[in-house]
Chains A and B, each alone.
Chain A
Amino acid sequence: MSDFLNSCKHYASVGSFQGRMALQRQLEYPLFLVSWLIMIPLKYLIGVWMLKILVDQFQPLAGWTFPQLAFLYGLGMLSHGLMVVVSIQSWFLDHMVIQGGFDRMLLRPLNVFFQFTFMYLNLIGCVDLIPAVIIFVTGCSLTGFDWTFGNSVGVLSVVLGATLIRSSFYTLTACVAFWTKRATHMRAIGHDLMERSTLYPLSIYPKAFQWILTFVIPLGFISFYPSTALLNINHGTALPLEIAMWTPIIGIAMFGLSQIVFNRGLRAYESAGS
């Protein structure tokens, strides 16, 4: 037991120091930070604005009103922002594999998946969180979302679970590079799929696609199903509302799966020729 505690302390001290180093590194380049600080919120605010135009000019999207859409969009962006802060490295995993980026981690007497998971804290990612918060808060007030204790815990657990789903999804797709030794270029495809399935209601898509995004690649649990549950929207979803809030469970399951696949992949890791 004390061995276990010692080990936890060890990992926590390395993990927190790595995080601190990551932040320090970024503060070395303030101009870069500032440019992102302007660009990223702009991009997402424009996204919602477009959505509003769409909804105003045509009928509500698959029965969803603008306030509900803003809620869903904002909820989806919260976990996106968080993922970009804590887990941006899962976007680059395939390149690390190809360029031999795990050599250094393998030389350390620490678990490699841990080192990978906590290798970086992306300060710029906070910028993604700004529009997320603005849009989500707007959505909440427009829908009259009731911040009861249960609802608050619900939102928090959904955001954390969804963050796990997102980073595990990217990790899993990039892990293919361990075997193929090629960049998967799944980031672009994955990113597109992610945006389409988390920023708009799944119910606008064909049934087969919805089914896949529920049972095969459960991205529907990032924002769509939780929104239906939190806002009590019953139309257009086949899933019972109790399951709709399973985001943390699915997040943990996917995280576990990504660790298994990562460790398998690491056995096939071949470094890089010098």
Chain B
Amino acid sequence: MIEATNLIKEFRVTKKESGLRGALKGLIRPERETVRAVDGVSFRINKGEIVGYLGPNGAGKSTTVKMLTGILHPTSGEILINGVSPHRERTRVVQNLGVVFGQRTQLNWDLRLGESFELQRRIYRISDDRFAAQMDTMRSLLGLTEFENTPVRQLSLGQRMRGDLAAAMLHSPSILFLDEPTIGLDLTAKQAIRDFIREVNTLHQTTIILTTHDLEDVEQLCKRLIVINHGRVVEDGPLEDLIDRLAPYRQIEIDFVQEVPVIEIQGVDVVEVNGNRMVLQFDRRAFSAASVISAVTQRAAVRDLSVREPEIADVLKRYYQDSA
């Protein structure tokens, strides 16, 4: 279980000024300013959850992950990972964590992938039997066999990421942090990573915190989303609730046999008419799709119809827009 209470993280950064004059000034008397990367974040994540931690670039996602994993000390606020503070008892907490930063590998660049696993085995004191069993699982879930003996620098990005995931899971941590694990990968590699995440979660009830910009990741994996912007939590709840609230409209596209009838139902809007085709929009909290469909079919013969679900991209658009 992860509990974060009122987390704040401030960085002191030197202001860079332009030109030679600015550079000289910075050398003699650097001007410092405080940046608040995380500004009062609180949440609670239970065992076995897969939570999407979303937000635009610079929102403070990585900084939060670094605090939760004990890399950074919060400026203020409290973190408890299974009841223990990573700030005060770092080694005890990290024993039970797996962490992957998509932008930066934990693997040893110059050596064959297997050496990095061997190092993990010693660091986490994994017994020989356990190690063999875990390696077997990882091999079958991630298809490591084909590149286990290749130097990490020669791996494709997708293979490297699979290696990183395996290294992070070898000691069977109960919590897995993934910071942009699918960044830069092609579609098949992304899918392999997603399948692995889902598998690990169902097999061992591993709690997973995932930051991503990929909405497919979110749709496939996350039951719950926490959205942050400018260091603050702006949304926290089940995926469906979020969609209900932020995109309460649903659309039905209908093909009529003959020309489109006049539809006048209170609360249902006609947003598009094109030949025999019509698009209706309604508030999903007030109507069910079925009731709208039956009202329409009473008025005219329908050849075909489809219900359009709102895209997560649309739902989150307003959080991503103001930072782009």
Taking a contact as CB atoms closer than 8 A, the residue among B92, B106, B151 that contacts A109 in the complex is B92
Let me know if B110 is at the binding interface, CB within 8 A. yes
Please tell me if the beta carbons of B151 and A28 are within 8 angstroms of each other in the complex.
yes
- Size range of the chain A interface in the assembly: 20 to 34
* Chain A residue, CB-CB nearest to B151: A28
Mark each residue of chain B from 68 to 93: 1 if its CB lies under 8 Å from any CB of chain A, else 0: 01111100000000000000001110
Let me know if B306 is at the binding interface, CB within 8 A. no
Let me know if B108 is at the binding interface, CB within 8 A. yes
Taking a contact as CB atoms closer than 8 A, the residue among A108, A267, A273 that contacts B94 in the complex is A108
Let me know if A271 is at the binding interface, CB within 8 A. yes
In whole angstroms, how far apart are the Cα atoms of A271 and B9 in the complex? 12
- Give every chain B residue within 8 A of A25 (Cβ-Cβ): 108, 110-111
In whole angstroms, how far apart are the Cα atoms of A104 and B95 in the complex? 13
Give the interface segment out of B122-130, B266-274, B284-292.
Answer: B122-130
Let me know if B42 is at the binding interface, CB within 8 A. no
Mark each residue of chain B from 221 to 233: 1 if its CB lies under 8 Å from any CB of chain A, else 0: 0000000000000
Let me know if A10 is at the binding interface, CB within 8 A. yes
Please tell me if the beta carbons of B119 and A14 are within 8 angstroms of each other in the complex.
yes
In whole angstroms, how far apart are the Cα atoms of A21 and B179 in the complex? 27
Q: Chain B interface secondary structure, helix, strand, loop or mixed?
A: mixed
Let me know if A270 is at the binding interface, CB within 8 A. yes
Shortest beta-carbon distance from B180 to chain A in Å: 9
Let me know if B156 is at the binding interface, CB within 8 A. no
Please tell me if the beta carbons of A109 and B124 are within 8 angstroms of each other in the complex.
yes
Residues of chain A from 100 to 148 with CB closer than 8 A to chain B in the complex:
102-104, 106-111
Please tell me if the beta carbons of B90 and A106 are within 8 angstroms of each other in the complex.
yes
Shortest beta-carbon distance from A24 to chain B in Å: 6
Mark each residue of chain A from 245 to 274: 1 if its CB lies under 8 Å from any CB of chain B, else 0: 000000000000000000000010111011
A-B contact pairs, 14 of them (CB 8 A): A13-B122, A17-B119, A21-B111, A24-B110, A25-B110, A107-B99, A107-B106, A110-B123, A267-B73, A270-B72, A271-B72, A273-B11, A274-B104, A274-B179
Residues of B near any A CB (own CB < 8 A): 11-12, 14, 62, 66, 69-73, 90-92, 94-95, 97, 99, 101, 103-104, 106, 108, 110-111, 115, 118-119, 122-125, 151, 179
* Cβ-closest 6 pairs across A and B: A25-B110, A109-B95, A109-B91, A106-B71, A14-B122, A13-B122
Can you add 8 more A-B contacts, CB < 8 Å, to A25-B108, A106-B90?
A: A21-B111, A102-B71, A106-B94, A107-B71, A107-B106, A109-B91, A269-B72, A274-B103
